[in-house]
């Protein structure tokens, strides 16, 4: 009888976890399909050529997955079309936060034990904090940051001579930047603002805030409010990695491209362009200098930055900064006898390290499979291996940068990129949820296997 109760509880819990994951996937799928239908409505697309179903699906997926890869010029959508894209970016950018806020945190449906566990896994919140409070704070924070960014961009764009639909342009770019989407209402992204300090700084600030993670923002805010100088280990690692990646990337791009892609810029503009490129590679997707004009070493560094991505619990993609940090420590440090690792006088369990490594391997597997399929399909179209690999990593990391490749893909190639964007956005969530919740506790074990490695 006791065993039956345990098994029944375990089955119910596992089945609920499956349901939660299914609803998340269904939510994003619904957004994509709805966006596709809206973009295909008469008058929404104002380009010279007809908008095909596959191109509308690609655009809607890119917006919901906050990627920014485009096969058509966003500037040629009507005002309604641009508003649709902005709403898709907002809903997709908040991702799981949007899902929990509008579907779970309602008076009708209470938080399940599993849902609460997922939220705390994702946002590392104190156990005493209510999930509904967490979500409300995150949504309010996002709205405040985007509204502030839109206001600042309004005056920055106005001073730069932008007059047409100034308010919509400002709000659109604020949402796109904070959600790390990379969509722009300008045909050449932000290339016309390469030397405009105000626009660059505001966009970079929004990108960093969106990619640092809501838990870090909340933690820093609490520390400043209470004047406490201690921060969580997660916050320390996320901030450290963000600074190192931005500064390190900027220094590399400046040295490598000062006489290359940046040669026509002044010294101060070169610094600004290098800094912007380092920031935008981390899942944002805007560009002030065409990425296709960069050297091969710069493209390889860009691929690495895209793969790492933003921090956990943020609007960005990639394997995340904390994952990369732990991978480096695993390679450089020796673990204890129980497989754990010491990080800043804190113990990281063997289970957590295993989850880090599994996430990394699965991410590589997804990229490799997508890349191989894309090569088989597109090898006759004159696209290089570097172009295709860059495209796949950009799609998986939900970045949006491209070596002028996206619009040249065949219909099957676009479908592969669509799937890669979707997996890159949704798949990471299913990877980081603790798999231990899906399985009952073992009441017996099997003998150890002795396998030679290395």
Q: What is the pLDDT of residues 363-406, one digit of tens each?
A: 999 999 999 999 999 987 788 999 999 999 999 999 999 999 99
Q: What is the pLDDT of residues 10-57, one digit of tens each?
A: 444 444 444 567 777 888 999 999 999 999 999 999 988 899 999 999
d(CA 363, CA 369): 10
Q: Which of the four pLDDT bands, split at 50, 70 and 90, describes residue 131?
A: low
135: its two tokens: 């979500």
Closest Cα partner for 141 from 304, 315, 330? Answer: 315
For the four alpha carbons of 23, 29, 32 and 33, in that order, the dihedral sign comes to negative
| Predicted pLDDT of residue 345 | 76
pLDDT greater than 90 at residue 151: yes
Burial 226-251 (b: 16+ CB within 10 A, else e): eeeeebbebbbbbbebbeebbeebbe
Backbone angles phi, psi at 143, to 5 degrees: -65, -45
| Predicted pLDDT of residue 220 | 83
Is the model more confident about 331 or about 339? 331
| Predicted pLDDT of residue 17 | 46
Find all residues with CB under 8 Å of 162, minimum gap 6, and list them. Answer: 169
271: its two tokens: 């610094």
Find all residues with CB under 8 Å of 259, minimum gap 6, and list them. Answer: none
Bridge partner residues of 346 (DSSP): 343
358: its two tokens: 């599994």
Closest Cα partner for 69 from 342, 302, 408, 376? Answer: 408
The highest-confidence range among 70-84, 223-237, 343-357, by mean pLDDT, is 70-84
Angle, nearest 10°, between helix axes 79-94 and 53-64? 40
d(CA 436, CA 97): 23
Q: Of all residues in the chain, what percent are helix, strand and coil, respectively (each to 5)?
A: 65, 0, 30
Q: Is 327 exposed, middle or buried (0-12, 13-18, 19+ CB in 10 A)?
A: middle
Say if residues 408 and 384 touch (Cβ distance below 8 Å): no
Say if residues 237 and 256 touch (Cβ distance below 8 Å): no
Is the model more confident about 413 or about 353? 413
d(CA 284, CA 309): 9
d(CA 53, CA 283): 26
Q: Would you give the DSSP letter of residue 86?
A: H
Say if residues 166 and 157 touch (Cβ distance below 8 Å): yes
Backbone angles phi, psi at 385, to 5 degrees: -60, -40
CA 129 to chain centre: 25
For Cα atoms 153, 158, 163, give the angle at the middle one, nearest 5 degrees.
115
pLDDT greater than 70 at residue 142: yes
312: its two tokens: 């956990």
Find all residues with CB under 8 Å of 104, minimum gap 6, and list them. Answer: 111, 115, 131
Q: What is the Rg, in whole angstroms, of the alpha carbon atoms belonging to the chain? A: 22
Q: What is the pLDDT of residues 198-219, one digit of tens each?
A: 999 999 999 999 999 887 888 8
d(CA 283, CA 23): 25
Say if residues 194 and 269 touch (Cβ distance below 8 Å): yes
């Amino acid at each position: 009888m006791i065993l039956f109760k345990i098994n029944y509880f375990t089955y119910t819990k596992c089945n609920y976890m499956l349901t939660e994951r299914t609803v998340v996937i269904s939510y994003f799928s619904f957004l994509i399909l709805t966006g596709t239908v809206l973009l295909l409505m008469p008058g929404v697309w104002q380009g010279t050529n007809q908008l095909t179903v596959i191109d509308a699906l690609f655009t809607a997926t890119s917006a919901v997955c906050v990627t920014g890869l485009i096969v058509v010029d966003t500037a040629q959508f009507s005002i309604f079309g641009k508003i649709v894209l902005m709403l898709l970016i907002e809903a997709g950018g908040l991702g799981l936060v949007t899902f929990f806020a509008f579907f779970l945190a309602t008076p009708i449906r209470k938080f399940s034990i599993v849902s609460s566990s997922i939220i705390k896994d994702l946002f590392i919140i104190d156990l005493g904090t209510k999930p509904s409070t967490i979500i409300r704070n995150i949504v309010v924070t996002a709205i405040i940051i985007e509204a502030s960014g839109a206001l600042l961009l309004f005056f920055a764009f106005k001073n730069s001579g932008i007059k047409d639909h100034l308010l919509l342009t400002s709000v659109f770019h604020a949402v796109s930047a904070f959600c790390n989407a990379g969509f722009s209402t300008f045909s050449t992204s932000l290339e016309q603002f390469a030397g405009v300090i105000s626009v660059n700084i505001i966009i970079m600030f929004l990108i960093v805030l969106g990619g640092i993670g809501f838990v870090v923002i909340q933690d820093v805010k609490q520390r400043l409010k209470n004047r406490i100088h201690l921060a969580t280990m997660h916050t320390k690692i996320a901030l450290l990695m963000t600074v190192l990646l931005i500064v390190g990337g900027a220094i590399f791009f400046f040295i490598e491209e000062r006489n290359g892609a940046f040669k026509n810029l002044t010294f101060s503009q070169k610094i600004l362009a290098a800094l912007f490129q380092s920031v935008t590679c981390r899942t944002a997707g805007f560009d002030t200098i065409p990425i296709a004009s960069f050297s091969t070493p710069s493209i390889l560094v860009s691929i690495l930055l895209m793969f790492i991505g933003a921090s956990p619990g943020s609007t960005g993609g990639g394997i995340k900064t904390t994952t990369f940090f732990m991978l480096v420590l695993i390679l450089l440090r020796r673990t204890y006898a129980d497989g754990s690792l010491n990080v800043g006088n804190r113990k990281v369990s063997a289970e957590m390290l295993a989850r880090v490594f599994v996430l990394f391997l699965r991410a590589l597997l997804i990229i490799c499979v997508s890349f191989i399929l894309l090569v088989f399909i597109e090898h006759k179209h004159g696209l290089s291996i570097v172009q295709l690999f860059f495209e796949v990593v950009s799609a998986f990391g939900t970045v949006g940068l491209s070596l002028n490749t996206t619009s040249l893909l065949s219909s099957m190639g676009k479908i592969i990129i669509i799937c890669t964007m979707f997996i890159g956005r949704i798949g990471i969530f299913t990877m980081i949820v603790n798999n231990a919740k899906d399985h009952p506790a073992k009441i017996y074990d099997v003998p150890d296997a002795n396998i030679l490695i290395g």
